[in-house]
Amino acid sequence: MKRLGILGTAIMLASCGPAPEAPATPATPEITRPTFELATSEAYDLGAIQAYPGQHSAVYDYIDANLPDHLAALQRWLRQPSISAQDVGIDEMAELLRAYLEELQRFGDTPPPPDAEDLAGELDEHGTPVASG
């Protein structure tokens, strides 16, 4: 029994020694903010931009006559989550767009809406969506 006591004391004393040194961590490089310089000293001139000359009174009259419907549509679009980086609501937003294009088709020579799967295609050199497949 006395040997167990001595052995236990020896183990306890051995464990009370200095802790082993932790391996050195590599130095973290200092992070610096990027700097940007303007390439011009010219002030922006709003007067250099011409006002849009188009007149669309029939469109404005239609919007005014149907304002509650347009506001409801805008509210619906704003409520629809669409976060492409997280793949949240993308298909639902595409379906809303398809239905909207279908609705526009009733008012003139609007091309037929593509399928919802085709709305996620690439853009051509003019920024027009290119249907996939």
pLDDT category at 104 given cuts 50, 70, 90 is confident
In a domain, 108, yes or no: yes
In a domain, 67, yes or no: yes
Model confidence, pTM: 0.39
In a domain, 125, yes or no: yes
Count of structural domains, the chain: 1
For residue 128, give its domain range.
56-133
The Cα–Cα gap between 112 and 100 comes to: 11
pLDDT category at 114 given cuts 50, 70, 90 is low
Check if the beta carbon of residue 85 is closer than 8 Å to that of residue 91.
Answer: no
More confident call, 118 vs 101: 101
Instruction: Give the model's pLDDT for residue 100.
Output: 83
Average pLDDT over the chain, rounded to an integer: 76
In a domain, 109, yes or no: yes
Instruction: Give the model's pLDDT for residue 81.
Output: 92
In a domain, 27, yes or no: no
Average pLDDT over residues 97-124: 65
The Cα–Cα gap between 115 and 97 comes to: 10
